[in-house]
Amino acid sequence: MESWLIPMTNEKPNLHLIAPVSGQTVDLDKVPDPVFSERLTGDGLAIRLEGDTVLAPCDGEITLFFDTKHAFAITTSDGVQVLVHVGLDTVLMNGRGITALHHTGDQVKAGDPILQLDLDLLKKKHINLISPVLIVNYDRVRHLRPRVAGCEVSAGMDTVLDYAV
């Protein structure tokens, strides 16, 4: 077990989210948008996106997919809703530069590709690529523990958030 994870002694196993994108972890307090830094949308962490594919951070059903494709939510079998928000101002792109590979209602597994990004276009348009990964209904979870800020993580490989229900 990685040292940053909280050991839990209850009968349910640790649950975790994997990195939906590759990049460097960022503490939510440092995200330059009060909706995220003040945890108005949920609790978790952010990742400074470096890759062009966004993966499912957990198993579940896609229960929300914004028309502009900049964010989606997956609800786990335990009822935990996980929001992945790609970049801070991607909504301004109105879907340009983002291709959805799944839709609302689809069942997905952790690591399944959800979005394909035109990273060159997003960078050309000066989109802030800090991407929050949040548990929206964090009142349903205990021991919420994000990976420390400043860590390089690989999409689909590294655990970025540990919690229990």
Per-10-residue mean pLDDT for the chain, 165 residues long?
A: 45 81 97 96 96 97 95 97 96 95 97 97 96 95 93 97 94
Question: pLDDT at position 10, please?
Answer: 45
Question: pLDDT at position 13, please?
Answer: 54
Question: pLDDT at position 157, please?
Answer: 97
Positive or negative CA dihedral for 82, 113, 61, 11? negative
Contacts of 9 (CB under 8 A, 6+ apart): none
**Annotated catalytic, 85?**
yes
Say which of 85, 102, 103, 126 is annotated catalytic: 85
CA distance 31 to 21: 16
Query: How many helices (H) and strands (E) are present in the chain, helices listed first?
Result: 2, 14
Question: pLDDT at position 11, please?
Answer: 44
Cβ distance 145 to 162 under 8 Å?
A: yes
**Strand duo 98-100 + 113-117: pairing:** antiparallel
Structure tokens at 74: 């997956």
CA distance 123 to 31: 18
